[in-house]
Chain A
Amino acid sequence: MLLIRIPVFGPTLNEIFAYQLTAGLFQLNWDNYILRTMIRMLLAYGLSVGFALVYGITAAISRRAEQVLIPILDVLQSIPVLGYLPGAIVVFLTLFNGSIIGQELASVVLIFTGMVWAVTFGVYGGVKTIPKDIVEAARSFGVRRAKYLRDVVFPALYPPFISGSILAWGGGWYFLIACEYLSFGTTRPYTLPGLGFYIFKAALDGNIAASLFGLLILIAIVALINRFVWHPLMDHADKYKYESTALPTHRKSQSQLSQWLLRKSREVSEDLAKVVEPVVSLEHKYYAHSIRFRHVNLLSHAHIGAAWHKYSRFGRIIGTAIGILLVILFFEVLVPPRFPEAIHQFMLRRELAMIPNYMLGSVARLLVGYLIALSWTLVAGIAIARSERLFNIMLPIFDIAQSVPALALFPVVVTVVIDYFHGSEFGLELASTVLVLTGMQWYLLFNIIGAVKAIPSDVIEASRCFGVRGLGFIRNIVLPAIVPAIILGSIQAWGGGWNATIASEYIVTSTKIYQVPGLGYMLDVAVAKGDTPLVLVAVGLMAGVVFLMNRTVWHYSLKRVNKYKFEG
């Protein structure tokens, strides 16, 4: 029997509110945790939008710029975003003489790096996939420059821009929480007060109930913003879409939860129902759309993967070189001027001998997490996409679950799992793998659902007509149809997984340091010691592994399964 000993589940609500940090959650001034967290998110999102529009549109419109900009993008996005954290913090603290502004800006920049790629890909893909006849029509009627941007480019990129923004916003939550945790969890003397900080601090102080309370508030905020900002925007953006074949049809149906909510609110009063109705009436559209949008975003990623081979060798080399240079430059600022000496000292480090071990540890953890994630999401994804009923019940649940930054669950998972195994090696590994899994699974699940939904209806009809049913249907139709989506989902999942290793291989609590050997651990320790060369090596290694895997395993498989794509 699984009897989990949760240390502090006792305290009443009163005790939660009495918890010293609660003040920061509700006080009405600039120290309010929720407010500060939100400001960080908004600033980072604003920056991302600005960057994405300029970079994405330039890359998509100018053939020459594209040759260099896209390879740069490809290198930069290969780096696990959390790898930027130490650099960003040091740079900004130095620039602002260690003031709070520098620290805040560092976190904003980090969240920005977590958001910006999805929006940029959305913008770039949106412009690149404008149907050729529309581009030609615009040219033939002399629509150029500002008018071309206004009448053709902006409307076309609106839907993928919104879908990219939704992904970015979700990713932003993850990195926001990471900033607030990591800046706290290491031995550095500064903290970044906010909702994530509260959740982590409460857990470390042994007040699991208060931590869960903070988590609940976080989930509520995430869900409310999705419902009142992103859902309506998504609905609106849908009008700007070019009709495309092979997109999932959406049926108007509401989840059981919405129907129940509406019924209950009717029972209470008609006025309440009037408020609830427009909110839930958006929902049925939203879930069908959100799946569709994810699919569109996936396609623009696929587009970039395919486009890579179109660039001239010159463009690829220059672009990659500039990308790598930018990364080195970024970290170069950290390394003292005596760079050669630093390198000399560095070569003597004994940590270097451990690198193969660390690499193996991280990769093994990721592989286990990936296999578990792939198995459950395959079964669940196909079942959900094939059944209208399951789709309506499960999608709202998964939608909220995936928007909760996985990192926010870490304190609870760590405390519960490690405690259950009495801090044994196995418990540590298990906790770490679970955390990695949470960073990977949603990419796979939503990609799979989207791909199953996108199987053209004539293909489904043909298989029914010829009696292809049950397992034969899964084996002959569904699995081959979703292979490209699984590969693209895997690329994203491994990216997410690497980020998770940084947060999950080295966890500092007030009483103890939990650690498992891996690249994430190496990076964290290097950051904690302020050992910049080692940070650079750890980040470089991670980026190298991610980049190599993308260029070899994933792009190779993508090319192989090219024949699996339906012709549009």
Chain B
Amino acid sequence: MAASAVLQIQEVSKIFEAGDHKVQALDSVSFDVYPHEFLCIVGPSGCGKSTLLRILDGLDYATSGRVLFKSEPITSPSPKLSMIFQTFALLPWKNVRENIELGLDAQGVGVQERRERTAKYIESVGLSGFEGAYPRELSGGMKQRVGIARALAVEPEVLLMDEPFSSLDELTADTLRREVLDIWREPTKVTDTFIMVTHNVHEAVFMADRVIILRARPGKLVADLVIDLPRPREKYAHTEGFYKYEQEIISLIEKNSGPTPT
């Protein structure tokens, strides 16, 4: 099984140095991610989950340990993995279409193909008719749709998401969660491994095949839990089974949290 893993996280540690004192953000974290998987990483704030995601994308580096993508170490950002940001990270001076083209332009994709691909993803996230709009004219939910389309347009194999719904209101977030799941389940897609960082336990149980639970200070893996619930999960969200998974994750987090922060 290990041979077929898309991503292998091996003994990853990260130490931040701020002046004289050092902060250990991640302490020897290891796990594998398999194709077609929807993986969630949950944990309290300060557990290093966002740092871990950045290391996976090559935006940050591990102090020790390594990350392999299809057996090759990740050292810098690659088009094989792309990211959706919590705060959207859209360029205010580019309109929707231009923002989505950002990665394609950087890869040197020809104009014709760029247009076609952008159009395709604009449609798939429901932004048709908004191609010429600027980010400031869009609601939060629409902005994140642009973020999703931008990440999908480069047709990565792995999609990384850093708390993608936490800046949105709950109703919008709920709609977008379903849409992301629909995209993930599409049979013809190129992008089929999804990794999402969240602190929302309900969201993790709703979306993930597997949940990685981290504890804080230092960020350490405490559990690797398979969510064995049928999909789509809308109708299970209020069942005993769903609730039990939520309780298990919450108690794992609480058990492993240190003294209550003041």
Contacts and interface: CB of A to CB of B under 8 A. Distances in A.
B19 A466 contact: no
Contacts of B83: 461-462, 465
Nearest to B137: A563
Interface string A459-473: 101111111110010
B154 interface: yes
A565 interface: yes
A469 B102 CA distance: 11
Interface string B63-92: 000000000000001110011011111011
Interface residues of A, number: 25
Interface string B23-61: 000000000000000000000000000000010010100
Contacts of B1: none
Given A459-B89, A480-B91, A565-B92, A465 B59 contact: yes
Contacts of B102: 462-463, 466, 468, 476
A427 interface: no
Chain B contact residues, majority secondary structure:
loop
B20 to A, nearest CB: 9
Contacts of A456: 87, 89
A562 to B, nearest CB: 9
B85 A477 contact: no
A481 B89 CA distance: 13
Given A466-B150, A472-B106, A564 B93 contact: yes
Given A252-B19, A468-B102, A567-B136, A458 B77 contact: no
Given A466-B106, A467-B77, A468-B106, A461 B93 contact: no
Contacts of B89: 456, 458-459, 461-462
A96 interface: no
B85 A564 contact: no
B103 to A, nearest CB: 3
B19 A467 contact: no
Given A472-B106, A476-B102, A567-B135, A465 B92 contact: no
Contact of B91 (A252, A459, A464): A459
Given A468-B102, A563-B136, A458 B85 contact: yes
A469 to B, nearest CB: 7
Contacts of A472: 105-106
Count chain B CB atoms within 10 A of each CB in A465, A466, A476, A481 and give the residue with the most: A465
Task: Please tell me the size bucket of the interface on B.
Answer: 20 to 34
A461 B92 contact: no
Interface string A375-401: 000000000000000000000000000
Given A476-B91, A563-B92, A461 B59 contact: yes
A566 interface: yes
B262 interface: no
Contacts of B94: 476
Nearest to A284: B19
B18 A467 contact: no
Contact of A466 (B18, B92, B154): B154
B239 interface: no
A458 B54 CA distance: 11
B79 A467 contact: yes
Contacts of A483: 93
Contacts of B242: none
B239 to A, nearest CB: 37
A544 B144 CA distance: 47
Nearest to A460: B89
Contacts of B85: 458, 461-462
Contacts of B59: 461, 464-465
A563 B93 contact: yes
A480 B91 CA distance: 9
Interface in B98-139: 102-103, 105-107, 134-136
A252 B106 contact: no
Contacts of A567: 92, 135-136
3 A-B pairs with the lowest CB-CB distances in the bound complex, closest first: A466-B103, A462-B89, A458-B89
16 contacts: A456-B89, A458-B89, A461-B54, A462-B102, A463-B102, A465-B59, A465-B77, A466-B82, A466-B103, A467-B103, A476-B94, A476-B102, A480-B91, A561-B93, A563-B92, A567-B92
Given A476-B102, A563-B134, A563-B136, 10 more contacts: A456-B87, A456-B89, A458-B85, A461-B83, A463-B102, A465-B59, A468-B103, A477-B91, A563-B92, A564-B93
